[in-house]
Amino acid sequence: MKTLLECITIEMQEAFKQAGYDEKFAKVTLSNRPDLCEYQCNGAMAAAKTYKKAPAMIAGEVVELLKDSACFEMAEAVNPGFINLKIEKKFAADYLNKMALDEMLGVSKCAEARTVMIDYGGPNVAKPLHVGHLRSAIIGESIKRIIRYKGNEVIGDIHLGDWGYQMGLIITELKKRQPKLPYFDTSYEGEYPKEAPFTIAELEEIYPFASAYAKEHEAYREEALKATYLLQNGHRGYRAIWEHIMRISVADLKKNYKNLNVEFELWKGEADVQKYIPSMVEMLKDGGYAHYDQGALVVDVQEESDKKEIPPCMILKSDGAALYDTTDLATLVEREKLYQPDEVIYVVDKRQEMHFVQVFRCAKKTGIVRKETELKFLGFGTMNGKDGKPFKTREGGVMRLENLIREIHEEMYKKIMDNRTVPEEEAKRTAQIVGLAAIKYGDLSNQAGKDYIFDVDRFTSFEGNTGPYILYTIVRIKSILNKYVESGKTPEGISISAAQSECEKSLMLEAAKFNDVIETVYEEIAPHKICAYIYDLANAFNKFYHETKILTEENEKLRESYIALLMLTRKILETSIDLLGFEAPERM
Give me the residues that bind ligand ARG (CB under 6 A), please.
119, 122, 124, 159, 161, 328, 346, 348
Nearer to ligand ARG, 134 or 508 (CB): 134
Q: How far is the CB of 303 from ligand ARG (least distance, A)?
A: 22
Nearer to ligand ARG, 451 or 502 (CB): 451
How wide is the angle at C-alpha 573 spanned by C-alphas 541 and 430, nearest 5°? 100
Nearer to ligand ARG, 108 or 352 (CB): 352
Q: How far is the CB of 318 from ligand ARG (least distance, A)?
A: 23
Nearer to ligand ARG, 18 or 274 (CB): 274
How wide is the angle at C-alpha 384 spanned by C-alphas 379 and 386, nearest 5°? 155
Classify residue 83 as exposed, middle or buried by CB count within 10 Å of its CB (0-12, 13-18, 19+).
buried
Nearer to ligand ARG, 160 or 496 (CB): 160
Q: How far is the CB of 124 from ligand ARG (least distance, A)?
A: 5
Nearer to ligand ARG, 164 or 467 (CB): 164
Nearer to ligand ARG, 167 or 588 (CB): 167
Q: How far is the CB of 159 from ligand ARG (least distance, A)?
A: 5
Q: How far is the CB of 198 from ligand ARG (least distance, A)?
A: 22
Q: In this structure, what is the dihedral angle of CA atoms 87, 89, 92, 93, given to the nearest 10 degrees?
A: 180
Q: How far is the CB of 257 from ligand ARG (least distance, A)?
A: 14
**Amino acid making up residue 537:** L
Classify residue 421 as exposed, middle or buried by CB count within 10 Å of its CB (0-12, 13-18, 19+).
exposed
What is the number of other CB atoms lying within 10 angstroms of the CB of residue 269? 23
The residues, ordered by sequence, that sit 6+ positions from 216 with a Cβ below 8 Å of its Cβ are none
**Amino acid making up residue 222:** E
**Amino acid making up residue 14:** E
Q: How far is the CB of 36 from ligand ARG (least distance, A)?
A: 49
Nearer to ligand ARG, 348 or 531 (CB): 348
Query: How do the residues of the chain divide into helix, strand and coil, expressed in percent and rounded to 5?
Result: 55, 10, 35
27, 44, 95, 139, 502 from 11: Cα distances, Å:
11, 15, 14, 38, 24
Residue nearest ligand ARG, CB atom distance: 122
Q: In this structure, what is the dihedral angle of CA atoms 351, 355, 360, 365, given to the nearest 10 degrees?
A: 150
Half-sphere exposure of 478 (CA within 13 A, CB side): 15
Q: How far is the CB of 359 from ligand ARG (least distance, A)?
A: 8
96, 384, 454 from 387: Cα distances, Å:
45, 7, 10
Nearer to ligand ARG, 159 or 175 (CB): 159
Q: How far is the CB of 331 from ligand ARG (least distance, A)?
A: 6
